[in-house]
Structure 1
Amino acid sequence: MSDADVSRRRFLRGSAGGALAVALGGGLVTSGCTSVNIAARGDGGQLLDRLRDRGVVRMGFANERPFGYINHGGELTGQAPSVGKAVFRKLGIDEFEPKLADFGSLIPGLKAGLFDVIAAGMYITPPRCAEIEFSNPDYNAPEALLLPAGNPLGLTDLRSVRDHQSARIGVLTGSVEERYALALGIPRDRVVVFPDQASGIDGVLANRSDSLMLTRLSLNAALEERPGAALEISETFFVVIDGVQQNGAGGFGFRKGETDIVDAFNRELAAMKAQGEVLEIVQPFGFSKNEMTELTAQELCAAPEVV
């Protein structure tokens, strides 16, 4: 979850097969992962027209702060849903239905037609670009480590975990952080996978892992829910693999072939960025001008792939 591809931002472990958990209405239900090709007609798709007719956007999210979550009032909020809602309102759609999924199930759920858009701050990576369409990113965030108070192992970034003889790195299931760790040569038995943000924090507190890697934004938001916890956050860093910086740039996901709505979404998003509206929307969730970006989905989709 980060985030938190990650990631938030996290790497898709596979979009077909297995069980898919998605919240429909008030409960979490399980559905097969059979893909449905709703949009890929080669004509730009008709999703925007359908959404305008229906008047409601179904937003897939993974309940990860600050990217997308249900607040204490039961409302879908966070960086991605808030930006997404503002863009969709400009496109003529004013109502939004939350659809909760495990992060690793977001792409299969989108492809199965269980929601219309992924609004979870999902990192734009080449493997994901092969699966779905992405809007341009609305942020680019560095990583950080969650550590026990006092940082007993002296960990500072992912390379410091690798270079330590026994340090364990915690990552979320389906995350780019997991792939980064393995690509840098951290042994699999020192990569501890957690299903979500909360269990990752609990894992560090219970010494099941020596660290948890997510974005600084995710970790700061998570610790706000754990006042007094004996934990600290490292300085931020971008992971570098084979000399290439791995950007944590997140956007909105749509089904393959729905290029018309992506183009319309990008036009409104660009205008909002230029007017400072995006920054104004995301600041309450811990984002700053430092996380704003002019990267494009095209650039990120063409980036060298981490193997």
Structure 2
Amino acid sequence: MNKNMLRKRFAALVPMGVAVALAMTACGSGSGGGSSTGGAEQKTITIATSNDAPFSYTDQATGELKGIDGEMINAIAAAKGWKVKVFTSEFATLIAALKAKKADVIVDAMYITDDRKKEINFTEPWYTEGEAMVVPADSTLASRDDVKGKVLGAQTGTVFKDLVDSLGGSQVKLFDSQAALLAAVENKQVDAVFTDSAVIGYSLVQKPNPKLKLVDPYKPFYPGIIGAGVRKDDTQLLQDLNSGLTELKNSPKYLEILKKYGLGEANMVK
């Protein structure tokens, strides 16, 4: 599991002064940002991302912007007639980079939080995403309430370790990687593990494993509402993004994108 993914959801942002310095270092003094229009010239919108699959990343083979958020912004941009440019930085510096006008909009599975709303404006919610519960394929466990007294697993250094500690398991086993975590389920070293739902969903889409299953339906303990972020004074861009998002949500493509990356109807926000 990418550690950037964990930071974006559950860790505090770095102090703003430090973040600005990091953002300036990351982009270089010659980098430009901001939307550009010139008469009839096609508008270019620069998105900021930490380049994490399955959320918003550049495909190394094709150079195309991919991921849940990436394909959603592509769809909105296509409907608006915009070109999309990508600015990449560490997740912790994305808000600073946005405020420094290195990019126009943050598109990177960013949770909408009260602290972040003090710094930037968010669009309407794009989708919801939290943790998933993964069990062996023949397991009868159906919710967090069923795991008391069971052997539970999580990945080292994640908030999911705190979650499993609170569930009353007979034992908690920690693993250094997502692969090791899933192998423990497959080999029945654990009865259930908890991990990021988008990451595990995407992993199982890419490489199905009949020995594992996601508990479904499942109500996350750490639910998150995802949005795109813009500067406080960029009110027109915010309106344009929201109108484009509404069009996308009213089309079949919205659910198609979610399913492509291992999410589904439970993650939709109408």
Matched, 1:263 2:233: no
Contact 1:59–1:118 (CA<8 Å) still a contact in 2?
yes
Structural mapping, 1:8-19, within 5 Å: 10-16=9-15
| Aligned-partner Cα distance in 1 for 2:6–2:76 | 23
Report the alpha carbon displacement of residue 92 of structure 1 after superposing the two structures with TM. 4.0
Alignment match, 2:56: 68
Contact 2:37–2:44 (CA<8 Å) still a contact in 1?
yes
CA RMSD between the two structures: 4.5
- Identify unmatched segments of 5+ residues in structure 1: 21-30, 35-46, 241-245, 295-307
| Aligned-partner Cα distance in 2 for 1:12–1:279 | 29
Q: Structure 2 vs 1, CA of residues 286 and 32 (structure 1 numbering), >3 Å: closer, same or farther?
A: closer
Contact 1:33–1:108 (CA<8 Å) still a contact in 2?
yes
Report the alpha carbon displacement of residue 180 of structure 1 after superposing the two structures with TM. 7.8
Q: Deviations over 1:176-226 (max 9, x none)?
A: x5598399689xxx69697xxxx33334537999724212x4312113444
Alignment match, 2:103: 115
The 10-residue stretch of structure 1 (247-256 or 77-86) with the greater mean CA deviation from structure 2: 247-256
Letter in 2 for 1:83: M
| Aligned-partner Cα distance in 1 for 2:137–2:70 | 33
Alignment match, 2:152: 167
Report the alpha carbon displacement of residue 122 of structure 1 after superposing the two structures with TM. 2.5
Contact 1:16–1:33 (CA<8 Å) still a contact in 2?
no
Matched, 1:139 2:127: yes
TM-score by structure 1 length?
A: 0.60
| Aligned-partner Cα distance in 1 for 2:36–2:165 | 40
Structural mapping, 1:50-69, within 5 Å: 50-53=35-38, 55-65=44-54, 67-69=55-57
Percent of residue pairs identical: 23
Q: Report how many residues are paired.
A: 251
Contact 1:5–1:12 (CA<8 Å) still a contact in 2?
no
The higher-RCO structure (CA 8 Å, 6+ apart) is: 1
Q: Deviations over 1:233-282 (max 9, x none)?
A: 33342235xxxxx6433221223443331122112211332344533554
Higher Cα Rg: structure 1 or 2? 2
Alignment match, 2:214: 233
Identify which of 195, 207, 217 aligns with 1:213.
Answer: 195
Structural mapping, 1:150-299, within 5 Å: 157-158=143-144, 163-164=148-149, 167-170=152-155, 181=163, 199-205=177-183, 211-215=193-197, 217-226=198-207, 231-239=212-220, 247-294=223-270
- Identify unmatched segments of 5+ residues in structure 2: 25-32
Report the alpha carbon displacement of residue 134 of structure 1 after superposing the two structures with TM. 1.1
Matched, 1:32 2:22: yes
Q: Quick check: which one's helix share is greater?
A: 2
| Aligned-partner Cα distance in 2 for 1:138–1:221 | 18
Contact 1:60–1:115 (CA<8 Å) still a contact in 2?
no
| Aligned-partner Cα distance in 1 for 2:92–2:146 | 27
